Amino acid sequence: MTSLTINGKEYKVDAPEGIPLLWVIREQCGLTGTKFGCGIAQCGACTVHLDGQPVRSCVTPAISAEGKNITTIEGIAPEKNTLHIVQEAWIEEQTPQCGYCQSGQIMSAVALLNENPSPSDEEIDAAMSGNICRCGMYGRIKSAIHRASAALQSSSTL
């Protein structure tokens, strides 16, 4: 048995050697917001945070996450029935289409804004180009990040 801390909660899981974190999160912990897209860290749909750093969970061995704080899309809101500022911006911009990639997009965006609260277009491109959106909502994702960035600025000056 392996112990994983996901969104502040401890999960006892069966993690055979080599199993990527993605499948443990989805199948054993039942947190299906984190998506399978490619399996080789090409699309970003499986992005989660390990101690705040974005990683592709489809190529991250589950065992390597032991002892770290794992955050998934289900765990970014400050509390139950509220939304993270990035999620709010996503709704404001009506960003998703099919929505399948959006958990990963949001996790990458949250990590970006944690590092750099007011990124330029180029910095957003650099941080987000590992996340594919086949519905092509890149313009809206970018706008939503700018919107979240502005909201962060105004909330921090309150």
Partner 1 sequence: MKKWTRRAFIGAGVLAGGTLVIGIAIRPGNRSSKVAGLIASEGETVMNVWLKIAPDNTVTAIIPHAEMGQGVHTALAMMLADEMDADWSKVKFQEAPADKEYANFTLLKGFVAGNATFPKFIEGTIDGVFLTAVKSLNFQITGGSASVRFTGQQAMRIAGAAAKSILMQAASDTWKVPIEELIAKNSIISHPRSNRSATFAELAPAAAKVNIPTQPKLKSPEEFTLMGTSQPRFDIPAKVTGEAQFGMDVQVPGMKYATIKASPVFGSKVKSMDTTVSSSQQGVKKILNLGDAVAVIADSFWQAKTTLDVLPIEFETTENSGLNQEEIIDRYRNAMDSDLAEGNLDTHFKDGDATTAFEEAAILVEAEYQLPFLAHATMEPMNCTAWLHDGKCEIWCGSQNPLGVRAAAAEILEIDIDQVTVHNQLLGGGFGRRSETDVIKQAILIAKEVDFPVKLIWSREEDTQHDVYREATISRMKAGLDQSGLPIAYAHQFIFKHHPPEAADIPYSIPNQLIHYSSPASHVPWGNWRSVDHSTQGFLTESFIDEMAHAAKQDSFAFRKKLTRDNSRFQRVLDLVYEKSNWGAPLPANWGRGIAIAQSFGSIVAEVAEVEVGIDGKVKVHRVVCAVDPGFAIHPNGFIAQMESGIIYGLAAAMTGEITIENGAVAQSNFHNYPVTRMNEAPKIETHIINSGNPPGGGGEPSTPVIAPAVTNAIFDATGIRIRQLPISKTDLRASIRQTT
**Residues of the shown chain interacting with partner 1 in the complex, contacts defined by CB under 8 A:** 16, 18-20, 23, 26-28, 30-40, 42-43, 45, 72-74, 77, 83, 87, 90-91, 94-103, 106, 124-126, 128-142
CB of 8 to partner 1, least distance (A): 16
- Cα 25 to Cα 46: distance, rounded to the nearest angstrom: 10
CB of 6 to partner 1, least distance (A): 12
Nearer Cβ to partner 1, position 151 or 158?
Answer: 151
Nearer Cβ to partner 1, position 35 or 49?
Answer: 35
Write out 19-32 in H/E/C secondary structure. Answer: CEHHHHHHHHCCCC
Nearer Cβ to partner 1, position 38 or 158?
Answer: 38
CB of 49 to partner 1, least distance (A): 13
Nearer Cβ to partner 1, position 5 or 28?
Answer: 28
CB of 117 to partner 1, least distance (A): 19
Query: What is the DSSP track for the chain?
Result: -EEEEETTEEEEE---TT-BHHHIIIIIS--TTS--S-SSSSS-TTEEEETTEEEETTSSBGGGGTTSEEE-GGG-SSSTT---HHHHHHHHTT--SS-TTHHHHHHHHHHHHHH-SS--HHHHHHHHTTS--TT--HHHHHHHHHHHHHHHHHHHT-
Nearer Cβ to partner 1, position 118 or 129?
Answer: 129
CB of 99 to partner 1, least distance (A): 3
